[in-house]
Chain A
């Protein structure tokens, strides 16, 4: 009975996911017919002349997520190591509770803080590079770093706690210092968990909408000459989510091709976050084996 039910509900969850993908795929059919794969690789998005190229937004989403993880990973994993390996139990719980509280702050609040503090700070600190304004990919990336921090700390902490205490005791008994135990025994075993935390964090940053929307500047078609160039980091950009959150969705509705292009962005985003979550989950699991 329990087995049947659990199968049933698993299938229900799977069906919901497939239905969601199906709806977006179905709604976006016109744009694939119109542009084919050029929809993914096209670099210009001008809906009035029916040009729909999603690449600048895919770039924007990847860059802000990348910046967020680069900034948040050392901080988050550092905090995880501190809480899991060094802090006494009561302090560890207190820190964990506080950090998990951070995860509960609504993202619009982060967005408003970003407007209040972060955009002016970026605008002043990087003044020598003459950014046109404070709404840049970098601003969005740093804001996302703050938002993804709780995910990294919590999952990193879990990964470290997952390493059996007996191994730590054995290492200490062999005369290794605490730091040596950490570097040569605990961290290698928690590495998969850290990787999984990064992937799940990546999925979270890809999908974040309102906070990014408020500070990213929403400039279309701002793609650098080279993918590795950082010049555009200090310029306004557009992510998939900021595009979906914009008033263009109101204009698109009722126009099959334009609407399909918007729904297609949803499909791309869903595929990207889905892949990150799937990889993150399966990547982490094997560490227990």
Chain B
């Protein structure tokens, strides 16, 4: 009986140790791309045990970090005052790792129909249901199938910040909702007359196409690297790794890797802007 107890105890200690060493990361599907690849590299080179997940997008990253379920959160929006108020005991630390733009993407039939740019006013009217057909925007007659990013996603928040000033000021509307980036891209690609918000790096220009946005001067600005870097394109957003307080141990190793030359190259590889690309 005694050896059994001892081996059980040993097993328990061992499991606890393994669990303690697992670095858990959760959050935005946008930030996930370079993070997942960094995790891959660190697993191979440093034998680190890392789990990366994308439950609930940025809000999921923030709340799971707040609840202590993960050690690093991924977010494509800053941690808001309300989030900090929800977790008063948690010191959210934002590590800026890159920059991304939110594109308004359309399906091929819309793009081929001649719609290449939108103004803020037009977006507003689509969002409020006053424009429902592409022909009102210079395209072919086809109902606009708008897919809204679900609330809590960084993409959605960037969009309403630009159009309405803040999420609280956004009108109360109900559209079919989409979650992660893959889902958004697939649904827009397979639906006629589709429009949605999507991280610009996912707009491949083959199945889904990024519209340019027209400012007050009427000049269309496309979500391309130079426009994002100079912040001429209005819908850009910072990408963050979130930690509790200053990063330490495995968390620090991971954060430092993503900020290193190699890590930043991964950020660029997935279509985002490196920190050094940004025009301060």
List residues of chain A with CB under 8 Å of any chain B CB. Answer: 44, 46-49, 51, 115, 119-120, 123, 130, 132-135, 217-222, 236, 246-251, 253-255
| B59 close to A246 (CB less than 8 A) | no
Set B64, B151, B170, B176: member contacting A251, Cβ < 8 A: B151
Which chain B residues (187-210) contact chain A, with CB distance < 8 Å?
187, 190-191, 193-194
Set A47, A133, A246, A249: member contacting B194, Cβ < 8 A: A133
**11 extra interchain contacts, Cβ-Cβ under 8 A, other than A132-B176, A133-B191?**
A132-B143, A132-B145, A218-B176, A218-B177, A219-B177, A221-B174, A236-B176, A247-B153, A250-B55, A250-B63, A254-B63
| A247 close to B57 (CB less than 8 A) | yes
Residues of B within 8 Å of A218, CB to CB, are: 150, 176-178
Tell me whether A248 and B190 are in contact in the complex, defined as CB-CB below 8 angstroms, given that A46-B172, A219-B177, A220-B174 are known contacts: no
Inter-chain CA distance A133–B147, complex, in Å, is 10
Residues of B within 8 Å of A221, CB to CB, are: 174
Residues of B within 8 Å of A220, CB to CB, are: 174, 177
Cβ-closest 6 pairs across A and B: A254-B86, A236-B176, A250-B56, A217-B176, A220-B174, A247-B56
Inter-chain CA distance A51–B147, complex, in Å, is 22
Within the complex, what minimum Cβ distance (angstroms) separates B162 from chain A? Answer: 18
Is B247 close to A, CB under 8 A? no
Is B60 close to A, CB under 8 A? yes
Interface residues on B, range: 20 to 34
Summed over the interface, the residue pairs from A and B with CB atoms below 8 Å come to a total of 83
Is B139 close to A, CB under 8 A? no
Residues of B within 8 Å of A236, CB to CB, are: 176
| A48 close to B168 (CB less than 8 A) | yes
Within the complex, what minimum Cβ distance (angstroms) separates A111 from chain B? Answer: 12
| B150 close to A255 (CB less than 8 A) | no
Task: Give the most central of B86, B172, B193: most A CB within 10 Å.
Answer: B172
Tell me whether A255 and B86 are in contact in the complex, defined as CB-CB below 8 angstroms, given that A248-B152, A250-B63 are known contacts: yes
Residue of B nearest to A235 (CB): B176
Tell me whether A246 and B176 are in contact in the complex, defined as CB-CB below 8 angstroms, given that A48-B168, A218-B150, A253-B63 are known contacts: no
Residue of A nearest to B169 (CB): A48
Is B167 close to A, CB under 8 A? yes
Residues of B within 8 Å of A219, CB to CB, are: 174-177
Interface of A is mostly: loop
Residues of A within 8 Å of B55, CB to CB, are: 247, 250
| B191 close to A246 (CB less than 8 A) | no
Inter-chain CA distance A96–B186, complex, in Å, is 37
Tell me whether A123 and B191 are in contact in the complex, defined as CB-CB below 8 angstroms, given that A217-B176, A253-B63 are known contacts: yes
Within the complex, what minimum Cβ distance (angstroms) separates A69 from chain B? Answer: 25
Q: List 28 A-B contacts (CB under 8 A).
A: A44-B172, A48-B172, A49-B172, A115-B186, A132-B145, A132-B193, A133-B145, A133-B176, A133-B187, A134-B190, A217-B177, A218-B177, A218-B178, A219-B174, A219-B175, A219-B176, A222-B174, A247-B55, A247-B56, A247-B57, A248-B151, A250-B56, A250-B59, A250-B64, A251-B63, A251-B151, A254-B86, A255-B86
| B143 close to A130 (CB less than 8 A) | yes
Inter-chain CA distance A255–B167, complex, in Å, is 17
| B60 close to A120 (CB less than 8 A) | no
Residues of B within 8 Å of A115, CB to CB, are: 186
Inter-chain CA distance A35–B256, complex, in Å, is 49
| B172 close to A254 (CB less than 8 A) | no
Is B179 close to A, CB under 8 A? yes
Residues of A within 8 Å of B175, CB to CB, are: 219
Task: Give the most central of A123, A132, A134, A248: most B CB within 10 Å.
Answer: A132
| A48 close to B174 (CB less than 8 A) | no
Inter-chain CA distance A248–B63, complex, in Å, is 12
Within the complex, what minimum Cβ distance (angstroms) separates A259 from chain B? Answer: 11
Residues of B within 8 Å of A130, CB to CB, are: 143
Residues of B within 8 Å of A217, CB to CB, are: 176-177
Inter-chain CA distance A288–B176, complex, in Å, is 47
Residue of A nearest to B149 (CB): A247
Task: Give the most central of A47, A134, A135, A250: most B CB within 10 Å.
Answer: A250
Residues of B within 8 Å of A132, CB to CB, are: 143, 145, 176, 191, 193
Residue of B nearest to A119 (CB): B190
Inter-chain CA distance A135–B179, complex, in Å, is 14
Residue of B nearest to A250 (CB): B56
Residue of A nearest to B190 (CB): A120
| B152 close to A251 (CB less than 8 A) | yes
| A246 close to B179 (CB less than 8 A) | yes
Which chain B residues (57-72) contact chain A, with CB distance < 8 Å?
57, 59-60, 63-64, 66-67
Within the complex, what minimum Cβ distance (angstroms) separates B141 from chain A? Answer: 11
Set A46, A135, A247, A254: member contacting B176, Cβ < 8 A: A135
Within the complex, what minimum Cβ distance (angstroms) separates B176 from chain A? Answer: 4
Residues of A within 8 Å of B176, CB to CB, are: 132-133, 135, 217-219, 236
Residues of A within 8 Å of B86, CB to CB, are: 253-255
Residue of B nearest to A127 (CB): B192
| B187 close to A135 (CB less than 8 A) | yes
Inter-chain CA distance A119–B190, complex, in Å, is 10
